[in-house]
C-alpha cells in the first residue's frame, strides 16, 4: 500500500506506552529501510499516556508491503504498549512470478529493428550478485546486454563491428562497469541513452558517458529476443539474479525521421523472479505494448 501517515496509542487502561520510535518499511519482510523525513529526522514522536492518539504525517509517502514500529523510549513506570493505525491507500502493481521456465518479452511489429537512438529505463531489486537484467541481439552480430556481476552493473554493446566478441563466460567483453552493492534488496534505477555511438549510462543518478568502438552507429536487434535474465545453454551467467523489475523501452528507427516507438507493458511492470536456477531459465520484457513506427 501507499502510506501517508501513522498514528499510535498506548495499551488500554494501563501505564504502557511508547514515547519515541523508528518506522521501518519493506517489500519482502527481510530487508528493511528506516523512514527519514525530508529534514533528515528519523525519530517519530509517540505518546505521553495510554489514551491519547498521536498522529504523524509523512513528509513523503512510502510504498511497501510491510511496516515495522521499533520502540526507542517508553513509560519508565510501565512497559512498551502500542496500538497503531496506518493511513494511506492501496497501491496497484502488476506482479509476475517466474519458475525458471517462463518469460516476458517485447515483440516488435517487424522481424528485426535497426535503431540509431535507444532509451532504456528499468528499476530493479536483487538479493543475488550475478544475473542478466536485459539482453537483445540481432542476426548480424549486434547485441545489447545489462548484467549484474558481483553486485556491479556491466553494460555490453556491439553495433555489428565485432561478430566474434559477444560476451561469454570464458571471454567477457565489458564496455563499462558502474555501481556497487546493487544486490542489497533495494530499488536501483538504471537509465541508458544512446544516440549513434554516444552512450550515457546512469545508475542511481550517477552517469557515465562513453562512445562505442568501430564504424557502425546503428543497433539491429531481432523482434523478440530482449531478455531480462537468462541461464540457458548459451547463458552469460551460471544463474540469474533479478528479483523485481520495472521497465520501459524507447527506440528510434533509422530512416523514420527519428519517430520514437514507445514500448511499455500496459503499465510499469513489477516483475518478481525467484532465483531462476532451472535449466534454460530466462525472462524477457512483456509482450504487450503500445506505439508503432
Per the model's pLDDT, the better-predicted residue between 129 and 16 turns out to be 16
Cα gap 191→194, rounded to integer Å? 10
Cα gap 83→74, rounded to integer Å? 13
Backbone CA torsion sign across 228, 231, 232, 238: positive
Distance of CA 190 to the CA centre of its chain: 8
pLDDT over threshold 60, residue 239 = no
Instruction: Say which residues have a Cβ less than 8 Å from residue 100's Cβ, sequence separation at least 6.
Output: 231, 275, 276, 277, 278, 279, 280, 281
pLDDT over threshold 90, residue 83 = yes
CB 52 within 8 A of CB 81: no
95-284 belongs to which CATH class?
mainly beta
What is the phi/psi pair of residue 82, to 5°? Answer: -150, 120
Cα gap 135→232, rounded to integer Å? 13
Judged on CB neighbours under 10 Å (0-12, 13-18, 19+), 10 is buried
CB 248 within 8 A of CB 198: no
pLDDT over threshold 60, residue 267 = no
Strands (E), 131-259: 131-137, 143-149, 152-158, 176-178, 188-195, 198-203, 206-211, 219-222, 227-230, 244-253
Arithmetic mean of pLDDT, 187-212: 90
CB 104 within 8 A of CB 269: yes
Residue-wise pLDDT tens digits, 281-292: 233 333 333 332
Q: Range(s) for CATH 2.60.120.200 in the chain?
A: 95-284
Note the pLDDT of residue 264: 33
What is the phi/psi pair of residue 122, to 5°? Answer: -150, 155
Query: Which of 51-60, 122-131, 261-270: highest mean pLDDT?
Result: 51-60
- Fold topology of 2-89: Jelly Rolls (2.60.120)
Note the pLDDT of residue 291: 31
Note the pLDDT of residue 61: 93
Confidence band of 98 (pLDDT split at 50, 70, 90): very low
**Percent over 90 (pLDDT), the chain:** 33
pLDDT over threshold 50, residue 33 = yes
Measuring CA to CA, how many Å separate 167 from each of 121, 164, 180, 182?
A: 22, 9, 21, 21
C-alpha cell at position 182: 546493487
Confidence band of 197 (pLDDT split at 50, 70, 90): confident
Q: For the chain, first and last CA: distance in Å?
A: 37
pLDDT over threshold 60, residue 277 = no
Q: Which residue has the cell 536501483?
A: 188
Measuring CA to CA, how many Å separate 34 from each of 68, 122, 139?
A: 9, 24, 48
Inter-residue long-range contacts of 140-143, CB under 8 Å, 24+ positions, other chains counted: 140/220, 141/166, 142/219, 142/220, 142/221, 143/167, 143/221
pLDDT over threshold 70, residue 234 = no
Q: Range(s) for CATH 2.60.120.260 in the chain?
A: 2-89
Residue-wise pLDDT tens digits, 116-160: 888 888 877 777 788 777 878 887 778 888 888 899 999 998 887
Q: What is the mean pLDDT of the chain?
A: 72
List the single range of 9-18, 34-43, 183-192, 221-230 with lowest mean pLDDT. 221-230
CB 196 within 8 A of CB 217: yes
Please tell me the pTM assigned to this model: 0.54
List the single range of 88-92, 111-115, 256-260 with lowest mean pLDDT. 256-260
What is the phi/psi pair of residue 44, to 5°? Answer: -95, 140
Cα gap 141→160, rounded to integer Å? 5
**Percent over 70 (pLDDT), the chain:** 64
Note the pLDDT of residue 258: 37
Amino acid at each position: 500500500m501507499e502510506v501517508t501517515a501513522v498514528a499510535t496509542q498506548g495499551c488500554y487502561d494501563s501505564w504502557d506506552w511508547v514515547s519515541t520510535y523508528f518506522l521501518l518499511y519493506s517489500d519482502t519482510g527481510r530487508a528493511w529501510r528506516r523512514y527519514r523525513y525530508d529534514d533528515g529526522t528519523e525519530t517519530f514522536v509517540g505518546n505521553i499516556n495510554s489514551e491519547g492518539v498521536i498522529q504523524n504525517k509523512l513528509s513523503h509517502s512510502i510504498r511497501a508491503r510491510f511496516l515495522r514500529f521499533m520502540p526507542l523510549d517508553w513509560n519508565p513506570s510501565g512497559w512498551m504498549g502500542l496500538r497503531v493505525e496506518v493511513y494511506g491507500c492501496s497501491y496497484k502493481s502488476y506482479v509476475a512470478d517466474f519458475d525458471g521456465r517462463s518469460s516476458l518479452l517485447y515483440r516488435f511489429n517487424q522481424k528485426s529493428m535497426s535503431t540509431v537512438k535507444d532509451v532504456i529505463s528499468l528499476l530493479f531489486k536483487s538479493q543475488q550478485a550475478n544475473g542478466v537484467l536485459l539482453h537483445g541481439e540481432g542476426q548480424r552480430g549486434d547485441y545489447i546486454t545489462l548484467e549484474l556481476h558481483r553486485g556491479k552493473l556491466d553494460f555490453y554493446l556491439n553495433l555489428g563491428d565485432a561478430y566474434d566478441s559477444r560476451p561469454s563466460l570464458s571471454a567477457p567483453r565489458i564496455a563499462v562497469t558502474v555501481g556497487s552493492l546493487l544486490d542489497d534488496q533495494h530499488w536501483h534505477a538504471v537509465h541508458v541513452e544512446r544516440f549513434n555511438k554516444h552512450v550515457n549510462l546512469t545508475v542511481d543518478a550517477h552517469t557515465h558517458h562513453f562512445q562505442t568502438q568501430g564504424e557502425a552507429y546503428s543497433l539491429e536487434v531481432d523482434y523478440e529476443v530482449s531478455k531480462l535474465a537468462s541461464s540457458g545453454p548459451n547463458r552469460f551467467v551460471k544463474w540469474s539474479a533479478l528479483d523485481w523489475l520495472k521497465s520501459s523501452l524507447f527506440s528510434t528507427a533509422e530512416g523514420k525521421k527519428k519517430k520514437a516507438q514507445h514500448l511499455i507493458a500496459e503499465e510499469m511492470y513489477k516483475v518478481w523472479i525467484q532465483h531462476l536456477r532451472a535449466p534454460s531459465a530466462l525472462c524477457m520484457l512483456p509482450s504487450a505494448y503500445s506505439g508503432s513506427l
